[in-house]
Structure 1
């Protein structure tokens, strides 16, 4: 039996509902390396995946990952992670054991937003004005180089956490201080605000061919924050904008495994926002696989086992998708919320999954941690999908006290 070593931090739906079942279907034994083993044991207690071993490991340190895998016996057949934070470590471990994997340099360029901008500019692909603020520097030190309005963000952050639009220099130092209070010791990046509607490009490569799977149109919360509220799968990726983004991905060295890229279109020009060198999350990957009728998670794992991808994948489909997140608008205790449901009516399948349990108390994060639940609506007619989502939202209640 082939063995997959899967690196993870906290449990996610992508792993629990996507990659672990896919590994079981492929007949793989899975060793899950994590620094949070208790959380994973709780997550799988009710329905544990077959042939799963959970092992404690400081997965943020590639040296610990390599040492732990080496100590466990025969070399693995694949080393994989779907975590934004663990792509470099996973790539280095795969390379150490001579296994297929991502180029660690490309993974680093995607993760480090300052390196991303430098690499694209050096390749002549796109030049976005930005300033980097090291942890021990005063915001005033870089104020003259910050392009206003700017988007201030952690240099290696994810999921719009602590990402804020800063309109004027007088507010810059205050926003830097607020982020540093929550993230001591982290570097920040302030880059020019790229206007225009937001889109995603979902790709999958095997190191030889880079396939476009699909593209979403993303709706965000009002500025100054950037929480994703809704995504709609486009009938086909935009051209020539998708082609332009693919050029930039190749310039970054990205072409192995799954990649989720965000970009805007302004005045006919595609501008890359960020690259997440893993599959799209927050239930979008699960819904995309269903809409494309594609064994997406199996294909991703197969690339890490060294198997070539089929000749044609995704890119357009008769399926339509709307993903909507029910968000908390204030902090407090969730008192009333609907349970999970799976409704089929008028040619639409609408799946609702709660993401927060009643009785839980939370502050207002202004990130995807504010999600109370997610609606996944699929069908072939966008108007019917939209009506189904509106009916569902109008007939349910979410109350925060």
Structure 2
């Protein structure tokens, strides 16, 4: 029995981890605080490609409730797993409670909490970034950061409420604005790290760490940091890989999937954030396809206590492009293309909407503004670019 912790449904779980659980012969108990959303997301799914799944309401942000729910269900867990940024510590503590393989809860906390991550890397002598934690309202009055600097939630995701500020007045304004909408939210302020933005995707079993690849993200323009395009590099520079892995080692990261964002400053890298999970927004699904590996099964096997193979069996020079369609304003989505999949000219293209037609949302200046994501895989970069451009040009998204 696989116990899977989740908040709202994501493509990584719906299209990746749940089908992988079925291929591994696992029944799934999904613990979530959004049971109806998951039931709607899984309507019409079944057959051999879908596991036997039981959706159980649970306050998954509280590790004590997770442990209590698993105990009360009286179904012996073989693994406790989550791909949610917000639930890594809870899943790690629950796995440890039931004496199952899992991530170190300390490593999960160090990567989730950006202030703790900065302290740990500085104490290890690996990287020093000017950073201050603003745990309570008013503390921003006393900090003297180098400008420009970045203000963001201490435990934020998807670049939500992250902003580059140029001076003290902008710093105070942004802190007031965020706290007016999200009272009590701890923030961090840190020096701005310019340079090309990259990721490193890794997979480990606690013994061996595999480097899966690196994305180059482009079109990310301050003062906000909305992801627009990412291209899988044929091979990340060795010096960058070695530096990222050294930082992961110092934080105790090496079990399951991890998605690390960093900027390259010539031969030096500087970490932006570490997400101790597989990459989202279709990147993990595209990575599995481009490399030709059963990525999601590999991740689940680590949580079942099975060692990874020495060679993951990547089939060769696959190329991958991710491109997002972003809302230019808030409002109600009146028309948009639905889910799309096709293959032509040696390119496989998949489009997944992230807003539903009829849904109303404010503009957040974050990755929450993605209307949908295109992923395209093949072996020819120019052909992929042409196919993606032609697809986007032929579609229409209308917000009223």
Q: Match of 2:84?
A: 83
Measure the CA separation in 1 of the matches of 2:302 and 2:276: 14
Shift of 1:74: 4.2
Deviates more, 1:104-113 or 1:231-240: 231-240
Secondary structure of the 1:195 match is coil
Alignment partners' CA distance in 2, 1:292 and 1:274? 24
Match of 2:228, SS? Answer: strand
CA distance in 2, matches of 1:45, 1:343: 23
Query: Whole-Å Cα distance in 1 between the matches of residues 341 and 357 of structure 2?
Result: 20
Shift of 1:360: 2.2
User: What TM-score does the superposition give when structure 2 sets the normalisation length?
Assistant: 0.96
Match of 1:10 in 2: 8
Q: Which runs of 4+ in 1 moved over 4 A?
A: none
> Per-residue displacement from partner, 1:206-233 (whole Å, max 9, x unpaired)?
0000110111001243210001001100
SS in 1 for 2:238: coil
Is the CA contact 1:150–1:192 (under 8 Å) kept in the aligned structure 2? yes
Residue 217 (structure 1) aligns with? 216
Pair 1:29-2:36 in alignment: no
After TM superposition, the score normalised by the length of structure 1 is: 0.96
* 1:328 alignment partner in structure 2: 327
Secondary structure of the equivalent of 1:140? helix
> 2:51 — aligned with what?
50
Q: 2:292, 2:315 within 8 Å by CA — same for their partners in 1?
A: no
Give 2:155's aligned residue: 156
Task: For 1:300-315, list aligned pairs within 5 A.
Answer: 300-313=299-312
Equivalent-residue separation in structure 1 for 2:127 and 2:314 (angstroms): 25
1:357-389 alpha-carbon deviations (Å, 9 max, x no partner): 322222211112211121111110101111111
Count of residues in correspondence between the two structures: 397
Q: How does 1:355-370 map to 2 (within 5 A)?
A: 355-370=354-369
| Alpha-carbon distance in structure 2 between the residues aligned to 1:353 and 1:59 | 27
Number of the residue aligned with 1:119: 120
Q: Match of 2:317, SS?
A: coil
Q: Which residue of 2 aligns with 1:98?
A: 99
Q: Distance in 1 between matches of 2:393 and 2:75?
A: 55
1:146-173 residue CA offsets vs partner (Å, 9 max, x unmatched): 2221110000111101100011112111
Query: 1:267: Cα distance to partner?
Result: 3.3
Distance apart, 1:312 and its partner CA: 1.8
Q: CA deviation at 1:76?
A: 0.7
Cα displacement string for residues 85-129 of structure 1 (whole angstroms, at most 9, x for unaligned residues) = 000011011111110000000000000000000000000110111
Q: CA deviation at 1:315?
A: 7.6
In the alignment, does 2:72 pair up with 1:71? yes
Residue 74 to residue 300, structure 1, CA distance change in 2 (3 Å)? same
Shift of 1:183: 1.7
Separation in 2, partners of 1:52, 1:170: 52
Q: CA RMSD, aligned part only?
A: 1.4
- Alignment deviations for residues 7-39 of structure 1 (CA, whole Å, 9 cap, x no partner): 111111111111111001101011111111111
Shift of 1:40: 1.1
Separation in 2 of the partners of 1:319 and 1:198? 21
